[in-house]
Amino acid sequence: MAPQAPDRSGPAEPGRSSVSEQDDILGAMRSRWNDAEAAKLDGVDLLVYASRLIGAETSLVVWGGGNTSLKTSERDHRGRDVAVLRVKGSGSDLKSVQRKDFPGVRMDDIRALLDRQDMGDQEMVAYLAHGLMDPGGVRPSIETLLHGFVGAQAVVHTHADAIVSLTNNDRPQEVLSGVYGKEVIALEYRRPGFRISREVADAIAATPQARALVLERHGTICWGATVREAYDATLELITRAEEAIVERKQGRRVFGGARVDVLPPAARRATALAVAPRLRGRLGRSKRVVLGFDDSPGVLAFTSSVDAPTLSQVGPATPDHTIYTKRLPCFVDLARSTDDPLAVWDALDRSVERFVGDYTAYFEAHKFVGAELVDPLPRVVLVPGLGMFTAGRDRRTAGIVNDIYHHTIDVIGNASAFGRYVSLTAPDAFDVEYWPLELYKLTLAPPEKELARRIALVTGGASGIGRAVARRLAMEGAHVVVGDVDEAGAKKTADDVTAAVGNGRAIGLRMDVTSEASVRAAFEETILAFGGLDILVSNAGMAHSAPVDRMALGDWERSFAVNATGHFLVAREAMRILIPQELGGALVFVATKNVMSPGKDFAAYSAAKAAEAQLAKVLALEGAPHGIRSNIVNPDAVFQDSKLWSDEVRRERAAAQGIAVEQLEDFYRKRNLLGARILPEDVAEAVLFLAADRSAKTTGCTLTVDGGVKDAFPR
């Protein structure tokens, strides 16, 4: 039996106030409609406009939730005028929806079902496919019939937080009647599909004076003769709900007050940094995850409260949340807050283990023929006194999970002001979580790439080889942290990456590899952004050319600081993450042909790079028991986009070879066996090979990318 949520809906306490993050914005729902913009649009284009306005309000719909529709007249393939329902397609998101995301379904096919009393999900989907104006196009929403059965021209369906707050308590009919009187129809929860569509149609027909309909624990249905009317009706309905919530919550203590003390900010940060890689490893044993951490005030107020252990285990705010967050979060059993990372980790590990057992039992109790257990690990982990971790296949998905649970916290707090918080029953939640038509949405995502779910840190990423490596790893699905002493250049590379592969996939940081503090700070930012690390590409370097007898000690030491000690510092920090994370990992060191074949007047560079190579080989020995591979790439004469080949270094190397500066690039090209010009992208391909699982059985290896310099053959 699910735990019973405490009832905090009694009389308000004098002097008490809510800690909900929504308190300042509830009651402030405003119309985003712009008459000048809307006047330029009509038909489906106007529907797209209104849909985006609704999608922009995160308190109305989150991440693919909700849908809109418009009944129109169109010409079919034979030139006949036919009535058509344009409805949001499955898998699209209202905030970014486009015209193409509204498949058309013939209304005569929809109306033909009004005489039916029931229809299976698969039968309904197959039937609607035959009614598409564009056969084989976007699959229409599972709630298509709900829209089609409503007689009004325009329909808006949302999962508004304020409305769900009125229904997710133990007396929803009384609460709704008190807010709306008889203007709004209220129906008990039923999973989306034919039967609820049928019930909505019957309820509206029986109550023609109703202005809207509320589905308990689900959301709203509003309608109008025009798109504008349906939009305005939605905002009016929700504004009244928000006003009722503000009034009800005045002077009430939210979540029963504090149960444990919240750690100070510095302690929260240090503890999160210590446990995040371990948690990422625990959650990613079968399939890696990206992990986010959140210690915002609203999250801390909830996770550290008296009622959180019980309220968090009641259920989601709305059914569609389960696809991202599962039915319940993992609530960590901590009787008091602590900044001892080992104590926090022990509690985390025990709680995750218990979650897996409970989730498996939940699956076994409710499974149907053909159902297969999905990942039994939590997506949301709540730690009293510390904050919240959220997991997803990428940073975007982890962010969606985070956003959804923020909404859940708000709904729990608001609903509890009206009565005991309630949610879906376990069987109802299972029906949604394992509903084939809902899981279908997840199949719309493209296949995962080779480095999907992996986190890579590339040093010296502002230019040349580092920039090319960052781009290449990202193109294969990796999340990339670009470090460089040139902060602007690092951020530029990261911006280029996100422009190519999507937001959230790269960050650029200032990183001076000669500074222990700078290196540590960059790895800390990596953990806070993504949860851990999988790949280190230690690439940052500099060159100095001079005969030994004329070399200054400072130049020698600077070369070793960057080209040897710098690699040690970044490798040490990487190992400190990879070992406790227990997911293995890949270290790739960008060295040089000079390791095998040193150059005249190049002692500081060649010797320091030889130290880097030896370090990489030692790490192959030390990392192997942990599944951590360490390999080396030896490039030569990579001039393009290179800061290493400064004007000064070019002059010095030309002088060492006895040639003119303008002959230098051609000299290096001609000296390799293939006569090839070596580009940053060529080196990036070698790095990709060593970073990916295609080289899973390779460690301690040196891979040359030099066109074939015989004196530098590995031997």
Coil, strand or helix at 170? coil
Phi and psi at 40, nearest 5°, equal -85, -5
Coil, strand or helix at 105? strand
Instruction: Extract the residue ranges of the chain whose pLDDT is less than 50.
Output: 1-2, 12-27
User: How distant, in Å, are the alpha carbons of 276, 306, 468 from that of 384?
Assistant: 15, 10, 42
The residue whose two tokens read 């013939």 is: 106
Q: What's residue 715's pLDDT?
A: 73
Closest by Cα among 423, 413, 70, 486 to 248? 413
The H or E element that residue 302 is part of is helix 297-303
Q: 75 exposed, middle or buried (CB, 10 Å; 0-12, 13-18, 19+)?
A: exposed
Distance CA 63, CA 397 (A): 10
Q: Which amino acid type is present at position 471?
A: R
Closest by Cα among 539, 621, 542, 626 to 588? 539
Closest by Cα among 586, 529, 533 to 395? 529
Q: What's residue 17's pLDDT?
A: 34
Compute CA 580 distance to the chain's CA centroid, rounded to the nearest angstrom: 23
331, 352 in Cβ contact below 8 A?
A: no
Q: What's residue 154's pLDDT?
A: 97
Tokens encoding 246: 């503000």
534, 586 in Cβ contact below 8 A?
A: yes
The residue whose two tokens read 């997911």 is: 583
Number of Cβ atoms within 10 Å of the Cβ of 114: 13
Q: What's residue 15's pLDDT?
A: 34
pLDDT digits (tens, 9 = 90+) for 617-659: 999 999 999 999 999 999 998 988 788 778 888 888 888 888 8
The H or E element that residue 44 is part of is helix 43-56
715, 503 in Cβ contact below 8 A?
A: no
Q: Which amino acid type is present at position 607?
A: A
Residues near 21 by beta carbon (within 8 Å), at least 6 away in sequence: 296, 297, 298, 406, 409, 410
Q: What's residue 1's pLDDT?
A: 45
- For the whole model, what pTM was predicted? 0.92
Closest by Cα among 298, 321, 317, 174 to 248? 174
Q: What secondary structure letter does DSSP report for 142?
A: T
Q: What secondary structure letter does DSSP report for 95?
A: G
Closest by Cα among 500, 499, 458 to 482? 458
Q: What's residue 27's pLDDT?
A: 46
Instruction: List residues with catalytic annotation.
Output: 605
Tokens encoding 288: 């890696």
pLDDT digits (tens, 9 = 90+) for 324-347: 999 999 999 998 888 899 999 999
- Per DSSP, the residues of 579-629 read HHHTS-EEEEEE--GGGTS--TTBHHHHHHHHHHHHHHHHHHHHHGGGTEE
Coil, strand or helix at 252? coil
Q: What's residue 23's pLDDT?
A: 42
Q: 676 exposed, middle or buried (CB, 10 Å; 0-12, 13-18, 19+)?
A: middle
Residues near 36 by beta carbon (within 8 Å), at least 6 away in sequence: none
Distance CA 535, CA 453 (A): 11
Phi and psi at 528, nearest 5°, equal -65, -30
Q: Which domains can be identified in the chain, with CATH numbers?
A: 35-249 (3.40.225.10), 265-443 (3.40.225), 455-639+677-705 (3.40.50.720)
